């Protein structure tokens, strides 16, 4: 069993609380991504698992074993850092084998593990090279290979793709996902990039200022964010938010933003009944805003007129930076949509996918 469990873990550095009362269970063989902005505590949480940091309070378990006082080398984990940390004077083969040699692993076993890891990562032809002869992507694979040969119960990866260019990041994301499927081991991955989290994770844990905000499957966090922070962090481009007042009219409940009004779908109106005449936060994703001429059939459509501020043609789609009475929002529409800066156009919100949050607590009202 390689389940990892945090029980009320707090980590302080002087007066700074890096991780605050974290309780989280990472089941065996999951690919969990810890995601959040810089300074949210995700790397500290990873270092606590590895033993590079000691918790101020609380307990950490790997399997059924309490590891608070267990040395890093005895935790049966392998860590891949943002910096590759390869020995420049050693060959790829020796870099990958170094940790096993220190543990007095028999040479035939070292050779078997190195060859197998090289085969999995497609770097067999690089084994005799030195790190300076490798590209950034190849160095990253060697760093992964060095972790794989350990055959650990848990892999810890701290922003391992940050030093790669955009194209290589996409390729390496796919390689890591395939590697996870082949090895069938628990992966715990730290990143500030929610695209990496959405594309690789089986489970995502979102953190903010040391506090765990929400845990769930990627699609669950996308469709049912628990609060404004998660809603704004998960999804690219980020969700649009409007301060609105819940009102009741002849046709039912609607949201009044001042410059526009949006009817609430019947299946969600009942939840907002108790917020009549109160201010809430209305959320809508850019991909749920459409040009009327190119919207998908069957959506719950409500129109708005707004001014185009900036246009960004992405090839297959248009990003429209819009203004509604100087309130900015972003629409992700069909590339054929006629729009130019300064023009007032009609857009359609798909209210079936609307989100609503309490103004004070910032928590969802539609759970």
Name the residue among 227, 224, 239, 358 with its Cα closest to residue 289: 239
CA atoms within 13 A on the CB side of 55: 25
Query: Looking at the DSSP assignment, which residues form a beta bridge with residue 6?
Result: 24, 60
d(C-alpha 9, C-alpha 26), whole Å: 14
d(C-alpha 192, C-alpha 231), whole Å: 15
User: What mean pLDDT, rounded, does the chain reach?
Assistant: 92
Read off the tokens for 249: 């009219």
> Is 207 in contact with 41 (CB distance < 8 Å)?
yes
d(C-alpha 173, C-alpha 187), whole Å: 13
d(C-alpha 285, C-alpha 356), whole Å: 12
Above 70 in pLDDT, residue 98?
A: yes
DSSP string, 31-58: EEEEE-STTSSHHHHHHHHHTSS--SEE
The pLDDT confidence band at residue 1, using thresholds 50, 70 and 90, is low
Read off the tokens for 129: 């090279």
pLDDT digits (tens, 9 = 90+) for 32-90: 999 999 999 999 999 999 999 999 999 999 999 999 999 998 898 988 887 777 889 99
* CA-CA-CA-CA torsion sign (151, 52, 168, 217): positive
pLDDT of 228: 98
Cα 319 off chain centre by: 22
d(C-alpha 35, C-alpha 159), whole Å: 10
Domain ranges of the chain: 4-233, 240-358
pLDDT of 112: 92
d(C-alpha 48, C-alpha 164), whole Å: 26
pLDDT of 81: 81
d(C-alpha 336, C-alpha 165), whole Å: 30
Q: Enumerate residues 6+ apart whose C-beta is below 8 A from 322.
A: 306, 307, 308, 309, 328, 329, 330, 331, 347
pLDDT digits (tens, 9 = 90+) for 6-48: 999 999 999 999 999 999 999 999 999 999 999 999 999 999 9
Query: Looking at the DSSP assignment, which residues form a beta bridge with residue 191?
Result: 35
pLDDT of 121: 82
* Multiple choice CATH, 4-233, 3.40.50.150, 3.20.20.210, 3.40.50.300, 3.40.50.720: 3.40.50.300
- Block residue for tokens 């959320």: 283
pLDDT of 235: 92
pLDDT digits (tens, 9 = 90+) for 232-285: 999 989 999 999 999 998 888 999 999 899 999 998 998 998 899 999 999 999
* Helical residues (DSSP H) of the chain, grouped into ranges: 42-50, 92-102, 107-121, 136-148, 166-183, 194-200, 218-223, 228-233, 266-272
pLDDT of 70: 94
d(C-alpha 168, C-alpha 25), whole Å: 32
Strands 31-35 and 203-208: parallel
Read off the tokens for 353: 């996918």
Question: What's the mean pLDDT in 319-347?
Answer: 94
Angle at 155 between CA 149 and CA 158, to 5 degrees: 115
pLDDT digits (tens, 9 = 90+) for 313-325: 998 899 999 999 8
pLDDT digits (tens, 9 = 90+) for 122-161: 888 999 999 999 988 888 888 888 888 888 899 999 988 8
d(C-alpha 44, C-alpha 80), whole Å: 14
DSSP state of 132: G
Fold classification of 240-358 (topology level): OB fold (Dihydrolipoamide Acetyltransferase, E2P) (2.40.50)
């Amino acid at each position: 069993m390689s389940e990892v469990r945090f029980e009320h873990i707090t980590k302080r550095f002087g007066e700074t609380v890096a991780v605050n009362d974290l309780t989280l269970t990472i089941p065996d063989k999951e690919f969990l991504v810890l995601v959040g902005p810089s300074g949210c505590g995700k790397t500290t949480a990873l270092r606590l698992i590895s033993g590079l940091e000691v918790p101020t309070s609380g307990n950490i378990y790997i399997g059924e074993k309490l590891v608070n006082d267990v040395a890093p080398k005895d935790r049966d984990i392998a860590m891949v850092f943002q910096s590759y940390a390869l020995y420049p004077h050693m060959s790829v083969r020796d870099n990958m084998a170094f940790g096993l040699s220190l543990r007095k692993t028999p040479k035939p076993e070292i050779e078997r593990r190195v060859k197998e890891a090289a085969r999995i990562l497609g770097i067999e032809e690089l084994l005799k090279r030195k790190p300076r002869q490798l590209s950034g992507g190849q160095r990253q694979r060697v760093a992964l290979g060095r972790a794989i040969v350990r055959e650990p119960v848990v892999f810890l990866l701290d922003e391992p793709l940050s030093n790669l260019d955009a194209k290589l990041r996409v390729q390496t994301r796919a390689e890591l996902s395939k590697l996870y499927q082949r090895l069938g081991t628990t992966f715990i991955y730290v990143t500030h990039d929610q695209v990496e989290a959405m594309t690789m994770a089986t489970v995502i844990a979102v953190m903010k200022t040391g506090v765990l905000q929400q845990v769930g499957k990627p699609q669950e966090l996308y469709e049912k964010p628990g609060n404004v922070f998660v809603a704004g962090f998960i999804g690219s481009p980020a969700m649009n938010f409007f301060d609105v007042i819940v009102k009741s009219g002849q046709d039912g409940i609607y949201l009044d933003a001042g410059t526009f009004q949006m009817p609430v779908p019947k299946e969600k109106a009942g939840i907002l009944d108790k917020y009549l005449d109160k201010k809430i936060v209305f959320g809508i994703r850019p991909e749920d805003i459409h040009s009327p001429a190119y919207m998908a059939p069957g959506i719950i459509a409500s129109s708005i007129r707004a001014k185009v501020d900036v246009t960004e043609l992405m090839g297959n789609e248009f990003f429209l930076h819009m203004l509604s009475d100087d309130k900015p929002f972003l629409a992700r529409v069909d590339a054929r949509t006629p729009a130019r800066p300064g023009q007032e156009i009609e857009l359609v919100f798909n209210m079936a996918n609307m989100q609503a949050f309490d103004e004070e607590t910032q928590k969802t009202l539609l759970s």
